[in-house]
Amino acid sequence: MFKKKSASRAARLTAIAVSVAALTAGLPAVADAAPVTVIPGLPPVQVPELPKVPTIPGLPPTSKSKPKPSTTTPTTPGVPAMPNVKTPTGYVALAVDGDHQIYWWKNGEFIKKMPISMGSDAHPTPNGVYHTKEKYRDMYMDSSTYGVPVDSPEGYRTYVEYATRMSWDGIFIHAAPWSLAQQGVSNASHGCINVSTENGKWVFDNVGRGTPIVVRGTIGGQYTGD
């Protein structure tokens, strides 16, 4: 009895196999079929491929471009932009009549400012680009250098320290302890840029010959010499 049942089951399985083979024999093979994801407990799922991004002839492929480095001089809040002038020493200065300050940059970086007093309304400092020249640790300045006799009402002869020449007609940036009350507030000189003794020494010690000093905003017209 057992042998008859086993033979009958084997015959049925053989018949099923022959039927399946007959059904699939005429089907074509599928090339590049999409991958099949099998999750335990669920029937196989065929995952469709994502469409390819079309390319447009004549256009380069897209890529993430890096931002270009800035070529502008960085600014500091409350500080004017550095004048665009050439400097052989790395230093650039800007003397502003509006706030009575002189601003200093080195190699494009702002480094310090100083309160100043420039020429009074009677002797205004001309606007323009000056270049530093020789220096004097100390010297006597007198009005005769620009045509005013020392013994006249407008004449003077004054001992000064840390004087750096800016022009050949007598304009210097120099220490002027007698005008500390006016420095950063008003103009009181005969045309020079007055600074404190400490700041005059800093200019004397650090600023080389040929450094541009730009004067801006005075009523003194335009400086044309150098």
Indicate which residue of 100, 123, 174, 190 is catalytic: 174
Question: Does the CA dihedral 157-193-85-91 come out positive or negative?
Answer: positive
Structure tokens at 80: 């004017």
Phi and psi angles of residue 143, each rounded to the nearest 5 degrees, phi first: -70, -15
Active site residue 100: no
Indicate which residue of 100, 123, 190, 192 is catalytic: 192
Give the Cα separation of 51 and 72 in Å (integer).
45
Active site residue 174: yes
Q: With CA atoms as reference, report the closest residue to 170 among 133, 137, 195.
A: 133
Give the Cα separation of 70 and 130 in Å (integer).
29
Q: Which residues are catalytic?
A: 174, 192
